[in-house]
Amino acid sequence: MQLLIGTQAVELDKEGFLKQLTDWNEEVAIKIAQQEHIQLTAAHWEIIELLRKFYQLYELSPSMRALVKHTEQTLGAEKGRSVYLLQLFPPSPAKLACKIAGLPKPLNCI
């Protein structure tokens, strides 16, 4: 699978995750989000940024539970709820947010 950004092609795996994590940039994120029918807003970018920092720190893609907990610790209880994340990245927040943030697929996402 390929994602076309202007004249540049970015390689995706069969589930739509980046093959090369270094291919990620904001334009790539917007394109992947569009394919998932998500229009990125500031609230989305906040989570994307949080995820990218999480990955830098732990070198892991978080599961849903870990994402909720980490969001709570970083952005507060209001946003650290699965309902909030579900609204932004339906129907599978951890998986979709990781995909858009250019992270590998979460390990324990079935």
Question: Catalytic site residues?
Answer: 109
Q: How far is CA 3 from CA 24, 38, 54, 57, 89, in A?
A: 11, 16, 25, 27, 20
63 binds another protein (CB under 8 A): yes
Selected from 70, 101, 102, 103, the binder of another protein by CB under 8 A is 70
Region near another protein per CB under 8 A, out of 14-22, 28-36, 54-62, 78-86: 54-62
CB 12 within 8 A of CB 96: no
Q: Minimal distance in Å, beta carbon 5 to another protein?
A: 27
102 binds another protein (CB under 8 A): no
Q: Which residues would be at the binding site for another protein (CB under 8 A)?
A: 57-60, 62-63, 65-66, 69-70, 107-108, 110
